[in-house]
Amino acid sequence: MIRKLQLTTLMMLVAAAGTFTATEAAGRFHFDLSGSEPEADATVPAPDTVTLWFTEVPQENSVSIRLVDAEGELVDASDASQDPEDGRKFSVTPGATLVPGRYTVAWRGIGSDGHTVRGDFGFSVAPSR
């Protein structure tokens, strides 16, 4: 009986996931990063803000976003602020204009299920013309 119940539950989850790949399904059902500006691995002019979008609204006061330069030094930036109209969107503002070079965005947050998720990605600031 338990085995039949497990199989039924698995079939319901597969049906709910539709035609998503495993990665897409995981992203839809668990807290994770869904996008950023600048995008990962992009080369951009110095951004005024770094913005992250998550797959769900994280637990209150659980999101941190850190900017790290190519030498591994923490870049002065504001605390992460949540968009009042979209609770999945968070931004930080650098304390000064970012100089050309490579940067890493390290982020952390806690999903509604209580799991802490963290990750990082890089982007580059292009020299001004």
Domain ranges of the chain: 1-30, 31-125
Kindly give the pairing relationship between strand 50-54 and strand 89-92: antiparallel
Dihedral sign (CA 72, 104, 52, 107) = negative
The widest CA-to-CA distance across the chain, in whole angstroms, is 69
The domain defined by 31-125 carries CATH number 3.40.47.10: no
The per-residue DSSP string of 71-82 comes to: TSPBPPBPPPEE
| Tens-level pLDDT at each residue, the chain (129 residues) | 554 445 344 344 444 444 333 344 444 458 999 999 999 999 999 999 999 999 999 999 999 999 999 999 999 999 999 999 999 999 999 999 999 999 999 999 999 999 999 999 999 999 987
